Structure 1
Amino acid sequence: MDGLLTPAAIRTDVAEALHRHPDENFDDEDLFECGLDSIRLMTLLERWRAAGAEVTFVDLAERPTVKHWVRLLVGDHD
């Protein structure tokens, strides 16, 4: 990846998709329970692929939390 994806950028993208504020702490929440649907997930996936991510829909859908997605997309940033 070329560094365009950061934990903050991922949180901001997810917050935007869920109509939430990126400063809210929802890193461990199940994003499907928060209102994320497959269409929004595909939108996020395509955005992140354009930034260089090499993940699949299944990679993201299996564990739908910001915390897990940050690990998948940019590595461990706890």
Structure 2
Amino acid sequence: MTALTLARMRADVAEMLGEAPEDISTEENLMDLGLDSMRVLGLVLAWGNTGIALEFSHLAEHATLGGWWTVVQRLQAQASASA
């Protein structure tokens, strides 16, 4: 399985919002940009295919791409440690 990267996350969020990836800041509130819970759930499902135990609640606790990336890095480290 391929590790999830910040670049992929940014590109996937941008696609969901109809924006260019470079327009998605790591510090901007994604909900303010128009990302709703159904789209977040779609991202969780897609990103879960990378082998990490990502759940909707992990992302719901954070509103920025930077916050999500911190969660993903932690989950990837846990997955590597248990492999």
Which category of TM-score, normalised to the shorter sequence, fits these structures? 0.7 to 0.9
Q: Partners of 1:25 and 1:41 in 2: how far apart?
A: 15
Tell me how far apart the structure 1 counterparts of residues 24 and 59 of structure 2 sit (CA, whole Å). Answer: 19
Structure 1 runs (4+) greater than 6 angstroms displaced: none
Aligned partner of 2:15 in structure 1 is: 16
Structure 1 residue aligned with 2:57: 58
Q: Which has the larger radius of gyration?
A: 2
In the TM superposition, what is the alpha-carbon distance from 1:4 to its structure 2 partner?
Answer: 2.8
Written as runs of structure 1 = structure 2, the 5 A alignment for 1:1-78 is 2-75=1-74
- Deviation at residue 33 of structure 1 after TM alignment: 1.1
Unaligned runs of 5+ in 1: none
Structure 2 stretches lacking a partner, 5+ long: 75-83
Deviation of 1:36 (Å): 0.5
Q: TM-score, normalized by length of structure 2?
A: 0.79
Q: 1:49 to 1:25 in 2, by over 3 A?
A: closer
Name the one with the larger helix percent.
2
By relative contact order (CA 8 Å, sep 6+), the higher-ranking structure is 1
